[in-house]
């Protein structure tokens, strides 16, 4: 069975690597805190030990998760600025109310609507993929459908 790769932008890949490096730098501090708490004695009633153990376990779990993301990632660079692809900046107009907004199309792990980063797998993101400027696209959301017009792609 072929492993499936997770597409992401270079920026998303760099962000994950930065978090991995930060967690690796934090790990020795947590290991020392665990050793210090263990030295306090009775482990069954040692809240510091339980807390330090839990913190280290969370860090290790997060680190494994991020490393798995990196190992199965595939960095995608937009190949054609005339069509929407992963990494494209797109300005759209919602036709119903003429509201204009811009998004960057990113991988699913990078998505953050508050930062205008839209997953290529979201209803809007997947509908926009591979379209061009001036295209009118119908988005089928779970509760309704609506149309947007693509104004710019960069």
pLDDT digits (tens, 9 = 90+) for 61-87: 999 999 999 999 989 887 767 889 888
Evaluate whether residue 24 is within a structural domain: yes
The reported pLDDT for the residue numbered 1 is 54
Distances (CA, A) of 131 to 53, 97, 123, 138: 50, 21, 14, 11
Crossing angle of helices 47-71 and 10-38, rounded to 10°? 160
The reported pLDDT for the residue numbered 22 is 97
Per cent of the chain over pLDDT 90 is 60
Residue, of 52 and 1, whose pLDDT is higher: 52
Residue, of 43 and 76, whose pLDDT is higher: 76
Evaluate whether residue 100 is within a structural domain: yes
Alpha-carbon torsion, ordered 24, 29, 34, 39, to 10 deg: 150
How many domains is the chain built from?
2
Q: Is residue 32 pLDDT above 80, yes or no? A: yes
Domain with residue 26: its CATH number is 1.10.287.180
Confidence of residue 4 (pLDDT cuts 50, 70, 90): confident
- Dist CA 66 CA 83 (whole Å): 30
Evaluate whether residue 82 is within a structural domain: no
Residue, of 144 and 4, whose pLDDT is higher: 144
**Average pLDDT of the chain?**
89
Say yes or no: 70 and 93 in one domain.
no
Domain with residue 94: its CATH number is 3.10.50.30
Q: Is residue 43 pLDDT above 80, yes or no? A: no
The reported pLDDT for the residue numbered 149 is 94
Say yes or no: 93 and 67 in one domain.
no
Domain of residue 135: give its range.
89-153
Taking a C-beta distance cutoff of 8 angstroms, is the pair 107, 119 a contact? yes
pTM: 0.76
């Amino acid at each position: 069975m072929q492993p499936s790769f997770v597409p992401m932008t270079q920026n998303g890949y760099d962000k994950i690597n930065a978090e991995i490096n930060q967690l690796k730098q934090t790990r020795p501090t947590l290991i020392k805190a665990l050793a210090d708490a263990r030295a306090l004695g009775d482990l069954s009633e040692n809240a510091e030990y339980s807390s330090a153990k839990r913190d280290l376990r969370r860090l290790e779990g997060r680190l494994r998760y991020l490393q798995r993301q990196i190992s199965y990632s595939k960095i995608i660079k937009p190949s054609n600025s005339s069509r929407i692809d992963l990494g494209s900046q797109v300005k759209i107009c919602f036709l119903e109310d003429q509201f204009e907004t811009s998004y960057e199309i990113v991988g699913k792990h990078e998505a953050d609507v508050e930062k205008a980063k839209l997953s290529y797998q979201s209803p809007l993101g997947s509908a926009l993929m591979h379209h061009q400027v001036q295209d009118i696209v119908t988005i089928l959301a779970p509760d309704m459908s609506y149309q947007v017009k693509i104004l710019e792609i960069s």
